[in-house]
Amino acid sequence: MEFIVNSINSIVWSGSLIYLCLGSGIFFSIATRFPQLRLFREMLRLLFDGKESAHGVSSFQALSIAISGRVGTGNIAGVATAIALGGPGAIFWMWVIAFLGSASAYVEATLGQIYKEVRGGEYRGGPTYYIEKGLRMPRYAMVFAFTTIVAMAIFLPGVQANGIASSVESAFEIPKWATGGVICVLLGMVVFGGVRRIGHVAQVVVPFMATAYILVSLVVIALNIERVPEVFMLIVRSAMGAEQAFAGVIGLAISWGVKRGIYSNEAGQGTAPHAASAAEVSHPAKQGLVQAFSVYIDTLFVCSATAFMILFTNSYNVEDPNNPGAFLVENLPGAEIGPAYTQAAISSEFAGWGAPFIAITLTFFAFTTLMAYYYIAETNVAYLDKRGDRRWMIGLLRVVILGASFYGAISSAGFVWTLGDIGVGLMAWLNILAIIMLRKPALKALRDYCDQRADGMDPTFNPVELGIEGADFWEAKYASDAATSTHDDEGRTTP
């Protein structure tokens, strides 16, 4: 089974997908005129814009759901894996894919908003909706929906559950099966509450856990502040093949940096549009810009925090790809790739606290990611259940994701990570190709938003005026708003 899974993974994550991720990020950055730079202040302003409604969540809640899906095991174990297999230069390529991926995140999140619907009293949207309505390819949409359900409910939960169980066992000597059982009970309590409960939990837990983790990393960095120039040069030189010790792994640095960057920030993967579609906003570009900023939070803040702690304290090994079992650098003899690197980094400065702190932090990170996985899978089940009369499908989904979480908790880390990579890769292939073909509505929305902001307006969205077809929700909303508007004494239309 492991041989088959590894073979599939090598096909999915071939060089073609690496080039597609980097190439699409460059393409969207140029097409949108680098909003990750010129609209950075606007992204910050929009973080707390909008309020929760009867059908949707606030912009910040949607952001929290998206970040809860992004900030997970990949931010701790994933970063360690990238360094162990690609050297310190992999971190540079994680930064590159985050910067470029911010533009991709804008496009996919905005498309999710443009083509969203109201189903079962809640906003629903995502790649399946914009593939069907925008590209008019319903069969393609169904393939994506099925792939996403399998990835989110079967392939990916094991990675998060395994990360929790392994770190808890290392820190507190609690058996994995017991941790797996607790995960299932707590996750079941949340997922049976629907999207609003997920949003309420995420908006409290996500900022708290990310802030605490970054503060600890800043303390570790401060204690090693004299090494900042040295570590930055190590990362850049290794990424360019100029560091002699890592010159032979420059290809792996790019590959693992992009792979773990995509796994962590999910830009272009097609997961974030599900959460973005649930937001109550007056213009799709608003949530697109908010989701673009979330990529920075994940990779430039949280992943960088992990990388700096590991590199500043020399708490890492780098495997020799040409000599199995040997190392180019071995600072932690016998340490297993993953959370152990970060635990060692913190313990080097806070004796005895590394393992418990990472176990607790990773539990928060991974558990909120499991919540986001369920929400994404449920959205795609709702898409397949167009008539809304197959409630048993939602019940089955809940049982499957709880079972996959328990199985992942007691399985080997290598096997569940490979399954997770396959799930991420398949979704990325399907979604990136879709948003490349369907880029124009997102680009029109951004120009329209910027034009209205330049005129001092709070932007509203009229798809008919922009020549965007298939945005049924927004057409109806604009018509309704126009019908209920009044005119002032000078003839101007006001709500």
Reply yes or no on whether the pLDDT at 201 is more than 70: no
Write down the residue that tokens 């393992």 correspond to: 355
* Backbone φ and ψ of 270, nearest 5°: 100, 5
415 and 483 in a single domain? The answer is no
Domain range for 472: 462-495
Write down the residue that tokens 């016998």 correspond to: 334
- Average pLDDT of the residues in 306-323: 89
- Average pLDDT of the residues in 316-344: 85
Provide the CATH number for the domain around residue 86.
1.20.1740
In terms of pLDDT, which residue wins out, 9 or 432?
A: 432
Alpha helices (H) along 240-322: 250-265, 272-277, 284-295, 304-312
3-state class (DSSP) for residue 328: strand
476 and 449 in a single domain? The answer is no
Residues 6+ apart with CB under 8 A from 311: 83, 88, 91, 231, 234, 235
- CA gap 416, 393 in Å, rounded: 25
* Average pLDDT score over the chain: 84
Q: Which two tokens stand for residue 118?
A: 């109201």
- pLDDT, tens digit, for every residue of 465-479? 999 999 999 988 877
Q: What is the pTM of this model?
A: 0.84
**DSSP secondary-structure letter at 336?**
P
328 and 266 in a single domain? The answer is yes
Say how many domains are in the chain.
2
- pLDDT, tens digit, for every residue of 223-241? 888 888 899 999 999 988 7
Reply yes or no on whether the pLDDT at 450 is more than 90: yes
- Average pLDDT of the residues in 45-68: 66
**Cβ-based burial of 35 (10 A; exposed 0-12, middle 13-18, buried ≥19):** buried
Q: Can you say whether residue 399 is alpha, beta or left, with left for phi > 0 and alpha for psi between -120 and 50 degrees? A: alpha
441 and 495 in a single domain? The answer is no
Note whether 50 and 286 are within 8 A (CB): yes
* Lowest-pLDDT range of 22-36, 141-155, 325-339, 417-431: 325-339
- Average pLDDT of the residues in 200-207: 65
Reply yes or no on whether the pLDDT at 260 is more than 80: no
- pLDDT, tens digit, for every residue of 384-427? 877 666 678 888 999 999 999 999 999 887 888 888 889 988 99
Q: Which two tokens stand for residue 450?
A: 């910027």
386 and 480 in a single domain? The answer is no
- pLDDT, tens digit, for every residue of 344-387? 888 888 877 777 888 888 888 788 788 888 888 988 888 887 76
pLDDT value at position 487? 45
124 and 175 in a single domain? The answer is yes
Radius of gyration of the chain, Cα coordinates, nearest whole angstrom? 22
Note whether 394 and 147 are within 8 A (CB): no
348 and 492 in a single domain? The answer is no
481 and 372 in a single domain? The answer is no
Cα four-point dihedral sign 484, 485, 487, 488:
positive
160 and 263 in a single domain? The answer is yes
Partners of residue 329 on adjacent β-strands:
318
- pLDDT, tens digit, for every residue of 285-296? 998 998 888 888
Q: How far is CA 221 from CA 87, 217, 224, 327, 346, in A?
A: 20, 6, 5, 26, 10
Q: Which two tokens stand for residue 5?
A: 């899974």
Reply yes or no on whether the pLDDT at 304 is more than 80: yes
328 and 443 in a single domain? The answer is yes
330 and 361 in a single domain? The answer is yes
pLDDT value at position 56? 56
46-50, long-range: CB < 8 A, 24+ apart: 46/286, 46/289, 46/290, 47/290, 47/293, 49/281, 49/286, 50/279, 50/280, 50/281, 50/282, 50/286
- 194-203: b or e for each residue (b if 16 or more CB lie within 10 Å)? ebeebbbbbb
The candidate with the shortest Cα–Cα distance to 276, out of 85, 107, 31, is: 107
pLDDT value at position 494? 44
Q: How far is CA 301 from CA 75, 121, 261, 264, 277, in A?
A: 10, 35, 13, 12, 25
Confidence band for 495, pLDDT divided at 50, 70 and 90: very low
3-state class (DSSP) for residue 345: helix
368 and 300 in a single domain? The answer is yes
Reply yes or no on whether the pLDDT at 64 is more than 70: no
